[in-house]
Chains A and B, each alone.
Chain A
Amino acid sequence: ETGVTQSPTHLIKTRGQQVTLRCSSQSGHNTVSWYQQALGQGPQFIFQYYREEENGRGNFPPRFSGLQFPNYSSELNVNALELDDSALYLCASSGSGGPTADTQYFGPGTRLTVL
């Protein structure tokens, strides 16, 4: 069984640029959630994708957008990067069915630094 994978591991961008982060869900999972974790904080929910549609969104501006593909992998796009966007971006997959379907398993994260 393959776990959640994310790419790239690290990324450095400058203010105003755009970035795309990628996530492959754990095998058997059909739902992907994205979180932003600032240094010293708990993860904050950005949004969730289920069956290629956004299924809930946290308190993040529209310049944070996403996609889910038919194979359940997902992308997080951030436009017009700001310094405060520097964080660890985590992807979590879930949805294997049954009573534990909502249990989320996290990938290793992408560390984004905005200069």
Chain B
Amino acid sequence: GQQLNQSPQSMFIQEGEDVSMNCTSSSIFNTWLWYKQDPGEGPVLLIALYKAGELTSNGRLTAQFGITRKDSFLNISASIPSDVGIYFCAGQPVSSNTGKLIFGQGTTLQVKP
């Protein structure tokens, strides 16, 4: 089945550092979404991307929809302690005629004050 490969699996960084994570797929996606999930809660949408090549920012977060439509990255600049959590990429495959989202395995971010 379709899978998203998300990397890195985990990151432990110092407050103030920049962070980068990415997702790749073997198939083409219509939409790329980035979510953050805190323990025991539902994923919260951070950034949504709808067109190949699109670069979108949300505060200190920046994400891009890859030109090949098979990848996306998320950057967090000047990390702060509240950035701690699990970040998921999710995509809607072109081959799907429903709103089915495929999720990556998640990147666990820890920030040391």
A48–B30 alpha-carbon span in the complex (Å): 18
Is A41 a contact of B105 with CB atoms below 8 Å?
yes
Q: Find out whether the CB atom of A59 lies under 8 angstroms from the CB atom of B1.
A: yes
User: Contact: A109 with B98, CB < 8 Å?
Assistant: no
| Candidates A33, A88, A95; contact of B100 at CB < 8 Å | A33
Is B74 an interface residue when CB atoms closer than 8 A count as contact?
no
What residues on B are CB-neighbors of A6 within 8 Å?
A: 42
For chain A, which range describes its interface: under 10, 10 to 19, 20 to 34, or 35 or more residues? 20 to 34
Chain A residue, CB-CB nearest to B98 = A56
Q: How large is the interface on B (under 10, 10 to 19, 20 to 34, 35 or more residues)?
A: 20 to 34
- Which of A11-19, A74-82, A99-107 touches B? A99-107
A87 CB within 8 Å of chain B: no
* Chain A residues, CB < 8 A from B101: 33, 35, 43, 45, 92, 104
With contact pairs A42-B88, A109-B42 given, residues A48 and B100 touching in the complex (Cβ less than 8 Å): yes
Q: Which residue of A lies closest to B45 (CB)?
A: A105
Chain A's closest residue to B51 (CB) is A99
Pick from B48, B50, B99, B106: contact of A48, CB below 8 A: B99
3 residue pairs, one from A and one from B, having the closest CB atoms: A56-B98, A42-B103, A106-B42
